[in-house]
Amino acid sequence: MDFFNYRQNRLFAEDIALSEIAAEFGTPCYVYSRATLERHWRAFDDAFNAYPHLICYAVKANSNLAILNLFARLGSGFDIVSLGEMQRVLAAGGKPEKIVFSGVGKREDEIRAALQAGIRCFNVEVAGELDRINRLAQELGVVAPVSFRVNPDVDAKTHPYISTGLKENKFGIAIEQAIHEYRRAAQLPYIEVIGIDCHIGSQLTETRPFLDALDRVLALVDQLQAEGIRLRHLDLGGGLGIRYRDEEPPLPSDYVSAILQRLGQRDFEIMLEPGRAIVGNAGILLTRVEYLKPTSEKNFAIVDAAMNDLVRPSLYGAWQDIIAVDTNSCAESLTWDIVGPVCETGDFLGKGRELKILPGDLLAVRSAGAYGFTMSSNYNSRPRPAEVMVDGDSVHLIRARESLEQLWAGEQLLP
């Protein structure tokens, strides 16, 4: 459930009409709902009841400081994949001891900074990373908390670009090699092994692949325990899907109770790294129709948002709902391809959409809160859109629209 609903034919975000937001902040513009963000975060947190757990929100899904700050206020942890994401979390008031650091290519400066900040855990994905962390921890005179991200070789049954838990993917340490790395880590003086981690992909709409992965991870955990390597936490990554169209993903509560059931008597702290399931349906991209261009082949609605603002449709062929902000239009209902101004045939937000629209009308691209702004670019020298957050009957600018000067800030002419 989210808080983007029609009231008398006008689309609202909580108690604010989206047409008012467009008038005040311009378009294209990302609009988020605070109530939806908090509701979705709590759906994960509450599902655990008293069971020890930490929700580590995956920053890559949406890294706006205001959003990170809302989650930090709720007591959230954070899953980061770069130094930039760590600094965002800290700038937003997140606690270092609630940060886990994932990613296959952690640089030395990133590891050093994370050790200095005192993060909760490194999710190690490459054998060489373990030695690098051990050496840097020695240099800094600290002991590094680590877990291994294992690759359980499970088919997540999702888009191949966002499937990560198969042998052929670059992520994690093959589950059959992991035991060797755990033994090695147990001998390293500046490493403390505290957990195990896996993340098999994103936009999963069934529980089964998660449970298959968990079974494999638990088999390894039991084997480690028999060797005297005791782990404190189990991090199951993110990946729970959302409804874009007609998907019916499990609710966080069903997903969590299935996990807890599988654990039996084992007493671990459970960590999850959800991104999309928390922020995806808490945001929309607001855009205005610039021109209508009916041709003999197709009807094109050219809008002011483009693939640089929201790349998911172009990159993955992702389907996101596109709805009129005012449904009281006298226009006739026609089928439109919703396209942007960027000079690429792949620049579309949606194809074959039945809409009643006229030039100047506003459209909302739904489910744009995750991997929307964070994957935006300046392609075609387009300043990135504004981001606003609605909170009941008030609205706050949480990122100003980029200025033209910002496009070339940092660039230099030759002498």
302 vs 159: CA distance, rounded Å: 28
Closest approach of ligand LLP to the CB of residue 333, in Å: 30
Closest approach of ligand LLP to the CB of residue 414, in Å: 37
Residue 237 φ/ψ region, left for φ over 0, alpha for ψ in the -120 to 50 degree band, beta for the rest: left
Asked if 229 contacts 186 with a C-beta cutoff of 8 angstroms, the reply is yes
Whole-angstrom distance between the N-terminal and C-terminal Cα of the chain? 57
343 a catalytic residue:
yes
Strand order in the sheet with 16-17: 4-7, 10-13, 16-17
Q: What residue type is 337 in one-letter code? A: D
Is the Cβ of residue 288 or residue 384 nearer to ligand LLP in the bound state? 384
Closest approach of ligand LLP to the CB of residue 189, in Å: 28
Is the Cβ of residue 213 or residue 325 nearer to ligand LLP in the bound state? 213
Closest approach of ligand LLP to the CB of residue 198, in Å: 9
Is the Cβ of residue 150 or residue 370 nearer to ligand LLP in the bound state? 370
User: Which residues are paired to 54 by β-bridges?
Assistant: 271
* Residue 312 in marked binding region: yes
Is the Cβ of residue 61 or residue 72 nearer to ligand LLP in the bound state? 61
Closest approach of ligand LLP to the CB of residue 272, in Å: 8
* Residue 275 in marked binding region: yes
Interface residues with ligand LLP (CB under 6 A) are: 58, 61, 79, 102, 162, 199, 202-203, 237-240, 273-277, 312, 316, 370-371
* Residue 344 in marked binding region: yes
Asked if 191 contacts 144 with a C-beta cutoff of 8 angstroms, the reply is yes
Evaluated on CA atoms 256, 261, 262, 268, the torsion sign reads positive
Is the Cβ of residue 158 or residue 287 nearer to ligand LLP in the bound state? 158
Active-site annotation holder among 29, 121, 198, 343 = 343
* Residue 120 in marked binding region: no
* Residue 274 in marked binding region: yes
Closest approach of ligand LLP to the CB of residue 390, in Å: 22
Is the Cβ of residue 2 or residue 14 nearer to ligand LLP in the bound state? 2
352 vs 366: CA distance, rounded Å: 16
Q: Which residues are documented as binding site? A: 239, 273-276, 312, 316, 344, 371
Binding residues for pyridoxal 5'-phosphate: 239, 273-276, 371
Query: Residues annotated in the binding site for substrate, as ranges?
Result: 276, 312, 316, 344, 371
List residues with catalytic annotation.
343
